[in-house]
Amino acid sequence: MRVRLTFEPTVVPAHEEAERRLKGQLEELASEHDRRIVVGVMPPRRRFISKRGTREYYARLVGMVEEALTTGADWLDEGDGITSVQVLGSGVFPAGERVSLVLSYGDNPLVGAQVAAGLEDVLRSKLTGQLAVAKRSGYSVMLLIDQVQDPASRQPSMFLASVETVTVVVQSILREHPGVVNAVWFRDRTGGFTNMTLSPS
């Protein structure tokens, strides 16, 4: 059975909300000051943050952009290490815009935590569902963790995760359901395959 190694499901709607809330407003601010800016954003995920918390995050970010444009000083939120404003020279970027949004795919800076968020729910459901049924029916069960981007999906592949990081997360989940999976393979973003040897539980 193949399981795609993607970011958790709220990534796409969170990115769309960030673009909708910020792009036009920040373009106006940058135009007023005749500056180009690069803005790092960690889009709030609704499963963790309330609507009020989301509004407060974006209001605070816009306020920091205004301050950075006024003072010319860059800003970094040391709390998450992502949310930031970099003030550049005058003019526009090649695409004709003044604002470049750099949107974080994860809601945690640790890659292992991002892998866990993307894999845990889907893999646990397979281990207690389809894969458990196959095992009880006498089949050997092989699991393929696939990092290659699905061209038919808007959900982004977790392209930066290493096989070592993925192995740690997968082994942790498989230990919760011992004896279901016989072998695990990993297909990396280049299409190469690695046998992810399972360590003893």
Residue that terminates a domain, selected from 103, 125, 146: 103
Which is nearest to 172 in space by CA: 134, 116, 96?
Answer: 116
Condensed to tens digits (0 to 9), the pLDDT of residues 47-93 reads 778 889 999 999 999 999 999 999 999 999 988 888 999 999 998 99
Supply φ then ψ for residue 2, to 5 degrees.
Answer: -100, 135
Range(s) of the domain holding residue 178: 110-195
Same structural domain, 58 and 82: yes
SS (H, E, C) 52-68: HHHHHHHHHHHHHHHHH
Taking the C-alpha atoms of residue 107 and residue 83, their distance in angstroms, rounded to an integer, is 11
Read off the pLDDT of each residue in 24-46 and give the average, rounded to a whole number: 94
pLDDT on residue 201: 46
**Boundary-marking domain end, from 54, 88, 103:** 103
Domain boundary among 69, 103, 137: 103
Task: Name the pTM for this structure.
Answer: 0.76
Same domain membership, residue 131 and residue 60: no
Phi/psi of residue 32, nearest 5 degrees: -60, -35
- 5 falls within a domain: no
Average pLDDT over residues 175-187: 93
Same domain? 129 vs 91:
no
Distances, alpha carbon 64 to alpha carbons 9, 59, 61, in Å: 29, 9, 5
Q: Number of structural domains, the chain? A: 2
